[in-house]
Structure 1
Amino acid sequence: RFTTTALALGFCVSVFAQDAPDAAIIQKLRKEGLENSKVMDIAFNLTDVNGPRLSNSPGLKRAQEWAVKQLTDWGLKNAHLESWGTFGKGWQIDKYYAATTLPYYHALIASPKAWTPGTNGPIKSSVVLIKADSVSDLAKYKGKLAGKIVMMDAGAPLQSGLKPDFNRYADSTLTQMADAKPMAAGARGGQRPGANNMMAQMMKMREVRAAMSAMLVEEKVGLILTYARGGQGTFFTSNGASYALDAKPVSPELEVAAEDYLHILRLLRAGKPVELEADIKTSFYDQDPQGYNVIAEIPGTDKKLKEELVMIGGHFDSWHAGTGATDNAAGSAVMMEAVRILKSIDFKPKRTIRIA
């Protein structure tokens, strides 16, 4: 809490840093920020109360409306939602369940990929392992996948976490970093060895994946299982389709935590049958495809400078599988706390301060 509040206070001080520092105002800022911080309450409302904030989803709209009301209650002016242009469809998970039932029951740690459809009710199927290094390899699966749950023969082995998540730099290291000189143009020494081969392999994989995606839609597969980045109980989710209003149809897709995905993969590679059941329901929202920013201001008081803006902000949306605490409720909460502190001490800026 101290670190987060300190960040907010750092901004507050910078608002009037061009003028001679006012010790009394700085003391008020410190006192309010350190003794009456609301930053954790703000973060609580953005995450636990309003939940995931995927772009144009009901969760994002709910959080945006809360923020507008909160900023207004603090006394900021002109708090509103302002369209920045067309985004596309909103989407949310209404229901999700998936578990292996053979060789034994095991609930999966997973999440539907954003902007993918549901399963249209409960499904149950043996899991089919697809091995394809080229587009021609896909031909052997045609006509055999309708209603099936499929997964690709791919997945990076998990590495043990032998290093701490964070390290404090020694003073000597910080000095070395501060003294680092920019690299001269062209000093990298040209292309890395094997770069052309790596690029060719990537293009080939992209071609195979595009062909596979189209084939799976045509085959009407029941569900695709994909390998999620991450490990040790954490996984990173993503989107499985475009949010554009005219996006092409895709198959239902479930992003599975590495531990569970590799568990199923090991069984299938060993020739052991795996059965899985799933029930996924998702909703799309295309009534209002506009994207919106949360806007509010502390008006400037100087006749000559009040039309100038001091802008602060952070992205307000998040992915859908969690509540977006670090991406980016933390940043948004700090920015909201900064303007709350300024209003609470009745600070009168020369320039208008706008949060967005």
Structure 2
Amino acid sequence: MKKISLLLFGLLLTSNLVIAQENEVIENIMEEAEENSHLEELAHELLDKVGPRLVGTPQMNNAHDWAVEKFRSWDISAEKQKWGEWRGWERGITHIDMVHPRVQSLAGRQLAWSPSTGKKGVTAEVIVLPEVEDSIAFQKWLPSVKGKMVMISMNQPTGRPDYNWEEFATEASFKKMKEEREKQSDAWRSNMEKTGYNHRTLPGALEKAGAAGIVSSNWSRGFGANKVFGASTKKIPVVDLNLEDYGMLYRLAESGSKPQIKVVAESKENGMVPTFNTIAEIKGTEKPEEYIILSAHFDSWDGATGATDNGTGTIVMMEAARILKKMYPNPKRTILVGLWGSEEQGLNGSRAFVEDNPQIVENIQAVFNQDNGTGRVVRISGNGFLHSYDYLGSWLDKVPDTISQHIETNFPGSPGRGGSDYASFVAAGAPAFNLSALNWSYWNYTWHTNLDTYDKIVFDDVRNNVILTAVLAYMASEDPEKTSREQIKLRNHPRTGEPQEWPEPRSPTRKGGVDED
């Protein structure tokens, strides 16, 4: 009995020591995150100094170099890992000005990978697409675009977001506006179909017909916000104008005023350039061949500086790694930080990592990914791993209540099939979890827009996400058990009734931005 009592006492003492150690590390993580945060500094350096991070640009490469240097300054080993190559392109000075019937500078920007105008620029009359009966009629009209700037987007009937109408308009007025907008949108889509082209193929047809350039406006249904993506032309410039200036030009063209604009867009082609992921490592001490991965895509579109897509996710993972290195320098398992390239073109960086590192993927304990904006994390799904509640739930129990109280969980959930880099790991059968955040008007105002800048970051929420990520990584590292990869049995598809299957791994685009031979 005495031996049994001593054994029980020893076990109890050991258990209490483990709990005390856990509490101390978690308290230290919280204190460091709140009292010695580097988030504002990281955001300033990444967003204001390095700037947007379009794949294939010098800024993307500068960002990788900056991250490697920053990790090393924290005594965390890091390197750029090449996974492919991309069309090299560099944005230059852009000016867009109306020069007739009066002079006015216009708010807009050259689209990514748009051909350059050279220093002299291009001056031309602006015309709009005609209403046509069929593709034959459109082909007859096409020669008239020669030497002209062609507007290819619908002129929006209002520049006020729906929430603004809903607040101030009468119910009848709001209803009338929506009905008229829907009718106009239907007519625009129908007319586009009649041309025989769509928004992807039309620019090439206009270029072939001799257009001097293309003008678009991809409004994001928010004040001053436009979606900004890439150009598909080979020789002529493509610019996107804010709704207000686009509408003015459109009305002038429709009324017969023959407006002219001058576009100077001094971009530069840099040939094929290497593309990278930044990988940082805190080596494990007891199980170094098992891995926790802190995941965020590093690239962005370049209409702005990519603050919430995905500067915030990037600085969360970097700050969590900094704090873990300081407060938990000898993790049991290896902690990797993956800052992926070219997520925006199809999860290419993370897919390449999964494809190139099967031994790491096979031994992943957990992946924690953050992408969608500046808000505090409010949703986590088990992503279809049958026993995810057993381990992820127990880790979440250790997260401070001030943070975990906001989080809804869905266990076991269903496998994510895209949208962000966690899906690359889920497809390979590795337990990967997306830390989904509050909206903060993400879709209208910052997702891929010209407004995705430093000032949109809510640092209190981002700090919450740092603590959440660091605690989850700590608990995943300390867990004596390896996480289960057993998958749920997927139900039949609700629409088709066909059996659903677990997503399959997909290979990345290793040579991008060019037509491959």
Distance 1:211-1:34 versus aligned 2 partners, 3 A rule: closer
1:232 corresponds to which of 203, 223, 227 = 223
Establish whether residue 296 from structure 1 lines up as the match of residue 280 from structure 2: yes
1:80-111 Cα offsets, whole Å, 9 max, x none, are 01123x34202221121111122322211111
Establish whether residue 260 from structure 1 lines up as the match of residue 245 from structure 2: yes
1:201-225 Cα offsets, whole Å, 9 max, x none, are 5993794236643332223322110
Establish whether residue 149 from structure 1 lines up as the match of residue 133 from structure 2: no
In the alignment, the residues of structure 1 paired with residue 309 and residue 158 of structure 2 have an alpha-carbon distance, to the nearest angstrom, of 24
Q: Secondary structure at the match of 1:71?
A: helix
1:242-266 Cα offsets, whole Å, 9 max, x none, are xxxxxx7253110111111111112
Aligned twin of 2:93: 95
Establish whether residue 354 from structure 1 lines up as the match of residue 336 from structure 2: yes
Contact 2:138 2:195 in 1 (8 A): no
Contact 1:92 1:284 in 2 (8 A): yes
1:105-163 Cα offsets, whole Å, 9 max, x none, are 22111111111202233222221222154432333334433332221362332353363
Q: Percent sequence identity over matched residues?
A: 28
Contact 1:131 1:152 in 2 (8 A): no
Aligned twin of 1:251: 236
Aligned twin of 1:71: 71
Give the TM-score taking structure 1 as reference length: 0.76
Q: Secondary structure at the match of 2:262?
A: strand
Contact 1:132 1:208 in 2 (8 A): no
Aligned twin of 2:211: 221
User: Where do 1:46-57 residues align within 5 Å?
Assistant: 46-57=46-57
Contact 2:101 2:259 in 1 (8 A): yes
Shift of 1:269: 1.9
Higher normalized helix content (fraction of residues)? 2
Higher relative contact order (CA 8 A, sep 6+): 1
Aligned twin of 2:110: 112
Aligned twin of 1:338: 320
Give the TM-score taking structure 2 as reference length: 0.53
2:266 corresponds to which of 273, 281, 288 = 281
Q: Secondary structure at the match of 2:145?
A: coil
Shift of 1:23: 1.3
In the alignment, the residues of structure 2 paired with residue 90 and residue 153 of structure 1 have an alpha-carbon distance, to the nearest angstrom, of 28
In the alignment, the residues of structure 1 paired with residue 74 and residue 113 of structure 2 have an alpha-carbon distance, to the nearest angstrom, of 36
1:57-82 Cα offsets, whole Å, 9 max, x none, are 100100110000110110112x1011
Aligned partner of 2:208: which letter?
A: E
1:284-313 Cα offsets, whole Å, 9 max, x none, are 22242x3210001111011xx221000012
Q: Secondary structure at the match of 1:220?
A: coil
- Structure 1 stretches of 5 or more lacking a match? 1-18, 165-196, 242-247
Q: Secondary structure at the match of 1:307?
A: strand
Aligned twin of 1:204: 193
In the alignment, the residues of structure 2 paired with residue 346 and residue 306 of structure 1 have an alpha-carbon distance, to the nearest angstrom, of 15
What count of residue pairs does the alignment treat as equivalent? 294
Q: Secondary structure at the match of 1:273?
A: coil
Aligned partner of 2:27: which letter?
A: Q
User: Where do 1:165-204 residues align within 5 Å?
Assistant: 204=193
- Structure 2 stretches of 5 or more lacking a match? 1-17, 165-185, 339-517
Contact 2:159 2:243 in 1 (8 A): no
Contact 1:81 1:292 in 2 (8 A): yes
Aligned twin of 2:298: 316
Distance 1:308-1:132 versus aligned 2 partners, 3 A rule: farther
In the alignment, the residues of structure 1 paired with residue 155 and residue 297 of structure 2 have an alpha-carbon distance, to the nearest angstrom, of 31
Q: Secondary structure at the match of 1:75?
A: coil
In the alignment, the residues of structure 1 paired with residue 26 and residue 108 of structure 2 have an alpha-carbon distance, to the nearest angstrom, of 48
* RMSD value, Cα: 2.6
In the alignment, the residues of structure 1 paired with residue 235 and residue 155 of structure 2 have an alpha-carbon distance, to the nearest angstrom, of 22
1:174-219 Cα offsets, whole Å, 9 max, x none, are xxxxxxxxxxxxxxxxxxxxxxx99x95993794236643332223
Aligned partner of 1:69: which letter?
A: E
Aligned twin of 1:37: 37
Q: Secondary structure at the match of 1:208?
A: coil
Q: Secondary structure at the match of 1:94?
A: coil
Q: Secondary structure at the match of 1:237?
A: coil
Contact 1:92 1:320 in 2 (8 A): no
